[in-house]
Structure 1
């Protein structure tokens, strides 16, 4: 997606050789037109896979996951990062570290919103080490649902997360692949 790459170059901030801040287009502010286009791209890539639900982790993946679910005409379910007072006691839960936040959190999905009959498409904003993605894959497996694939807006190819998922047999589609952030420059892999 050339429009996405252009937005990353214009609005992304390289914090270090490992961290790219995308607050201006994904993580704090959302460009609705670009987000809907990303949703269309993911929907096109997975349209023939019989997706019944799109799943993401709160909060940065929600906008793109919503756009994807809208294009596919299926519900969006997001894994929460905190239990609420109304949370059911039998939630699917996985403890995951967050690379960008530097903390460990639980991600939770109610069994009410994911079942063995579901064909799940996982959508997320960025994959670095892939800890949240692996945690969500474990939740999907425990639910008995089928994971048809993962759509990632930005894949950081120099970190291990995307390849680890691919090695698990997960079909992973990325809209932008970053090969390097060294020296403060954003270098795309393709």
Structure 2
């Protein structure tokens, strides 16, 4: 997605030639126009695939998942929590996920009330690096007896093993911007 690539070049910051910070338009402050276009692009890319529900993880994936859901005809969005809330009194699905940027493992939780067996689920996330978050989300979906129909990623670090890990598990991965490398604290895009 060319507009996203331009925005990454314009406003993204690379830390230590390994972490891309996009807080000013995606992860803390959100550019609604750009996020809505991302949702439309995911809807276009997954138009060949019937989707019943979108699953993401708090918090950066929520806006993108919502934009995608609207573009797909207002399908439901469910987000996994990184910490179990006191409000989550019902049964939950859980998966352990290692966070690359926070350098810690957390237990993602998703209420059993919001995922159902047989549903086709699109997973949406902001970044793909090692694939830990996406794999954890697929585990939550599969625990429900639902089907991970595809994985939509906003920014993929193609030089890390995430895509290969997901494709080896048989998942379709669509990324809006693929970064082949960081050179001199600048992203080099793939494709």
Calculate the TM-score normalised by the size of structure 1: 0.97
Partners of 2:143 and 2:118 lie apart in 1 by: 13
1:48 Cα shift?
2.7
Partner of 2:50: 50
* Of 28-37 and 180-189, the range deviating more from structure 2: 180-189
SS in structure 1 of the partner of residue 174 of structure 2:
strand
1:25 Cα shift?
1.4
Partner of 2:175: 174
Partners of 1:45 and 1:189 lie apart in 2 by: 18
Structure 2 matches for 1:21-100, cutoff 5 A? 21-72=21-72, 73-100=74-101
Gapped regions of structure 2 (runs ≥ 5): none
Contact kept, 8 Å, 1:96 with 1:104, in 2: the verdict is yes
The count of aligned residue pairs is 190
Partners of 1:96 and 1:147 lie apart in 2 by: 17
Contact kept, 8 Å, 1:79 with 1:109, in 2: the verdict is yes
Contact kept, 8 Å, 1:16 with 1:182, in 2: the verdict is no
Partners of 1:48 and 1:157 lie apart in 2 by: 24
Partner of 2:16: 16
Deviations 1:65-114 (A, max 9, x none): 11001111201100011111121352000111100111111111111000
SS in structure 2 of the partner of residue 153 of structure 1:
strand
Cα RMSD for the two superposed structures: 1.0
For the pair 1:185 / 2:169, whether they are aligned, the reply is: no
Spell out structure 1 runs of 4+ moving beyond 4 A: none
Deviations 1:32-62 (A, max 9, x none): 0000000000011112311010110100111
For the pair 1:139 / 2:144, whether they are aligned, the reply is: no
Partners of 1:82 and 1:185 lie apart in 2 by: 33
Contact kept, 8 Å, 1:93 with 1:108, in 2: the verdict is yes
Contact kept, 8 Å, 1:152 with 1:174, in 2: the verdict is yes
Contact kept, 8 Å, 2:90 with 2:112, in 1: the verdict is no
SS in structure 1 of the partner of residue 46 of structure 2:
helix
SS in structure 1 of the partner of residue 16 of structure 2:
coil
SS in structure 1 of the partner of residue 68 of structure 2:
helix
Gapped regions of structure 1 (runs ≥ 5): none
